[in-house]
Amino acid sequence: MATVEEVMAYASQNERICPMPGVWQKIYEMLPEKKRVGAGWEPALPLILAAWYEASPDSKARRFQEHLEWAASHGALEHVHQFLCGLEEDEWFHSDHQ
């Protein structure tokens, strides 16, 4: 069973920041027990759509890590990890895209 640190290490190989928006949305949909909190969501939504263009690479990386931590604390990290391992390199946003 992978840890959040191991999944983050895999997810940051090759200067990866986070999955591309469509893929990130699929990962978010895998997260169990999401809930409305005020005007937002817990965990917070992925930084996609308009937020994709406004968010810094560091913000994207932090939000993605929050999603991995949520997956770990809700028993879904292994499923998310397997999904990530099946991604092609062009399905990741890389730091060289800045």
- Structural domain of 93: 4-97
What domain count does the chain have? 1
Banded model confidence at residue 97, pLDDT cuts 50, 70, 90: low
pLDDT in tens, 34-86: 999 999 999 999 999 999 999 999 999 999 999 999 999 999 999 999 999 99
pTM equals: 0.94
Q: What is the pLDDT of residues 40-54, one digit of tens each?
A: 999 999 999 999 999
3-state secondary structure labels for all residues of 18-40: EECHHHHHHHHHHCCCCEEECCE
pLDDT for 1 equals: 85
